[in-house]
Amino acid sequence: MRGKFTNLVKKSRFAVAVLVAVVVSFAAASCLPLPPNTTHTVYSLNSDIQGGSYTLLGNPGWKKNIHVIIPAEYNDKPVTRISDKAFSDFTNLQTVTIPNSIKRIGARAFEGCTALKNIIIPESVTHIGQYAFRKCTALEAVKLFANVTLIDYMVFDGCSKLEWFIIPDSIEQISAGAFRNCTKLKNFYILRTVDIVSINTQAFQNTHQDLKIKVEYEFIGGTNTQLIDEYKRLHTELKDQFDTMYPDDRQFIRDQGFDFW
């Protein structure tokens, strides 16, 4: 009887050890770097319940591509994350299709993609990591749907061809350096439904000298601090009004697929 009990204890300990190892492997998977000499697409199983989704780690073979379509599924499970540095320095990449399954874009995911011309970030995305699109020097248009609440540190730093940006109504905070060195950024549209909690005073460092934040079609100019103070004043003053002073801007925003007015 004692021998049976001892065997049972050993089996239980073994089972627990296996379970712990599996859980740890799931948790670590999303942080794994690409294996050396990889020539195919690599995924890691996420640590969510029962390992129900995957992170795209990358595919070095895509470096030659001018267009990449990120798969929405792998092994019959959704791909929900783009790993840190997954496409970093893919200098041939001009366009990328991000599926609606993606929830998180990792830090530096597209940093240094110097040929990337435009990006549509689907409404499924709730998090964009720091430096995600830094030094995308050909980037001219970003379509960011409402669900992201934070434009993180240096996300668009050095996007020197970016001339306009539309803030969706989910954004609560714009961090330091978010649009730093966007030297052509002249028009920054804040939709009237937006109630931004915090704009860092260094968010617009070294942008175009004529940068204007447009709230309710009102133009705002001045230093970073003046821009923010004036935005807050105008937002409070015009929040419940419908101003049609600048119909061209209104049509431009509609043309980009936004229809919040």
229 compared with 236, residue with greater pLDDT: 229
The 10s digit of each residue's pLDDT in 170-225 is 888 889 999 999 999 988 887 656 666 678 878 888 988 888 777 644 444 444 55
Range of the domain at 161: 2-255
In a domain, 119, yes or no: yes
Residue 192 resides in a domain: yes
Q: How far apart are CA 207 and CA 43, in angstroms?
A: 37
Strand (E) or helix (H) holding 204? none
User: Does some domain include residue 189?
Assistant: yes
The pLDDT-based confidence of 29 (bands split at 50, 70, 90) is very low
Instruction: Report the percentage of the chain scoring pLDDT > 70.
Output: 63
pLDDT band at 261 (very low <50, low <70, confident <90, very high): very low
CATH code: domain of residue 186: 3.80.10.10
Residue 261 covered by a domain: no
260 in a structural domain:
no
Does the structure show a pLDDT above 70 at 85? yes
> How many other β-carbons are positioned within 10 Å of the β-carbon of residue 22?
12
Domain-located, residue 214? yes
Residue 116 lies inside a defined structural domain of this protein: yes
> Is the separation of the CB atoms in 168 and 148 below 8 Å?
yes
Whether residue 64 is contained in a domain is answered as: yes
Taking the C-alpha atoms of residue 253 and residue 183, their distance in angstroms, rounded to an integer, is 21
Distance CA 150, CA 169 (A): 11
Higher pLDDT, 253 or 160: 160
The domain total for the chain is 1
Question: For residue 189, what are the β-bridge partners?
Answer: 166, 214
